[in-house]
Structure 1
Amino acid sequence: PEYAHPYEVLAPETELVTVSPKGGATIVDPISIQLFKDDAYCVEAKEFAAILYVGGFGPSTYESVREFYDAGLIVATVCHGSIALANVKLDDGSYLIVGEKITGFSNDEVASYNTNFDEIPVPFHLEDALEKSSGGNYEQAAAPWEPKVIVSSTKKLITGENPASAKPLAVELLKLIKASA
């Protein structure tokens, strides 16, 4: 649902581009980057209104988050996709999400899977990482698996806690995209 529900809300009213890194680092020849960076098919953050990271345990692309954020565009995450925000730092060395209310898959939700934390294929607990990076501003729904969506005061950062949050997050994202058009 983390991808399907936002797709259902956004596709009728926006143009979507879907990408997946398939995990691992992408190796790109630096010379090729220089030679082809101005080609029409090369993509830059400024060509979009927002970026949405959906659930999953794959590696995140901190550079993309920074590029969108620095361009004043909307960064949205849902469920485990919030891992993309955990270690992003600004030029002054502070975390991008410090002082921001933030959410993502909670420790209680992981525990309700009856799964030992050591078995999860991420090197840290998402809630703990977000709590640290945000300066103690992690929030979760009143009960596990209930939807929880947080829109930042700047309207440029939206986070959803779990799969149940995907559709309400997409509704908020669409409102912000339309407002910024």
Structure 2
Amino acid sequence: MIKFSLEMLWSERRKVYGLCTSMVMTLSICLLFLQFLMNPNLTQKITSIDIFQFSETFCISLFGLFILAVCVSLICYSCNYYMKLHAREIGMVKMAGFSQGKIVLYQLIQMITIMVVSVIITFCLSLVTTPIFLTIVYRYCHIHQNVFYFNTRLFSMIGILVVCILIILIGMQ
């Protein structure tokens, strides 16, 4: 099943490029906006007083979470659209006698492969985009810190985000 799924993914690789590009850009945006939540130079502790007064630090964190929610929904929509485009493949798999569980597994293997490739490309791209982004933000905020800030918590948050997206995709199937 895994071999067949990967062979079909490879044969349809031109269609995968668009989805992979969309996911890389969306994950890159998620990674950049996670800086507002994880970078100690950009964040401040939010207290209950900040929440009740709707302070600036609370608004920035809320804006970051909103952008993350939009990015997650965009990735889920893109993946769902990609899966709907492949009705011909699903028809072939059904005609071959696979059960509904195996069809979901077939699609899941393809989505995991695409996600892993997208995450690897995003991490490589973040080595360039994060310092550029932090340079702009630090200059605007008059912060004099190192722009080469790579927190492992950021990358673990992206990993958690990807796992949540996969769970949502399984539920959608």
Taking structure 2 as the reference length, the TM-score comes to 0.26
Taking structure 1 as the reference length, the TM-score comes to 0.25
The structure richer in strand per residue is 1
Q: Which has the larger radius of gyration?
A: 2
